[in-house]
Amino acid sequence: MKKIVFEENIYTYHIDFAGHVSNIVYIQWMEIGRLKFLEGAGLPIQEVVERLGLFPTLVKTEIRYLKQLFLGDKVRIEVWLSRLKHVSAIMEFRFYNGKGELTADVRQTGLFIDKESHQPKALDVRVREGFMPYLESETVRSNDAG
């Protein structure tokens, strides 16, 4: 299984009143990760919206924060799919600090919404094929304790 992996610097504007990265910044990094994921699957967001007529739409985000991130650190972000259905997908994110320690894990559920009808729309075979290299195997998922 392939993952999208990228790094982000932590800047002063990422820091909240408690002196660590604000929770909202994780949401922003996930947006970047979803866009990079679509590009990696050969489907830049403009193509998804204009050519395929789909709005990838989030319906649920579950975040488990494990360690804080601080100014001057770098965060490594990994993104992949743990489930792909006809009209929905579950995307996984893992965030690591500069020491390689897991700082947060995230699961987001999204739907593929038809641009015209605003109703869920099944992915066609070609689109699904682009996502398949990033899909976690059933064996790995069934052995996952969390």
Q: How far is CA 138 from the centre of its chain?
A: 19
**Which DSSP category does 35 fall into?**
H
Q: How confident is the model at residue 138 (pLDDT cuts 50, 70, 90)?
A: low
pLDDT at residue 112 greater than cutoff 80? yes
pLDDT of residue 140: 45
What is the spatial distance between Cα 142 and Cα 146, in angstroms, rounded to a whole number? 10
Beta strands in the chain (DSSP E): 4-9, 54-65, 74-84, 88-96, 102-114
Judge whether residue 145 has pLDDT over 90.
Answer: no
Compute how many other C-beta atoms are within 10 angstroms of the C-beta atom of residue 1.
12
Per-residue pLDDT tens for 22-56? 999 999 999 999 999 999 999 999 999 999 999 99
Please give the Cα distance from 104 to 6 (Å, whole number): 15
* Domain-embedded: residue 142: no
Within a domain: 141? no
Give every CB contact of residue 75 below 8 A, 6+ residues apart in sequence.
7, 8, 10, 21, 29, 69, 95, 96, 97, 98, 103
On whether residue 37 sits in a domain, the answer given is yes
- At 48-100, the pLDDT tens digits run 999 999 999 999 999 999 999 999 999 999 999 999 999 999 999 999 999 99
Range of the domain at 105: 4-136
Give the whole-number percent of the chain exceeding pLDDT 90: 92
Reported pTM: 0.90
Confidence at residue 130, expressed as pLDDT on a 0 to 100 scale: 94
- Is residue 125 domain-resident? yes
- Domain with 89 in it: what CATH number? 3.10.129.10
- Judged against a pLDDT cut of 50, whether residue 139 lies above it is answered with no
Domain count, the chain: 1
Residue 143 confidence (pLDDT) above 90: no
146 in a domain, yes or no? Answer: no
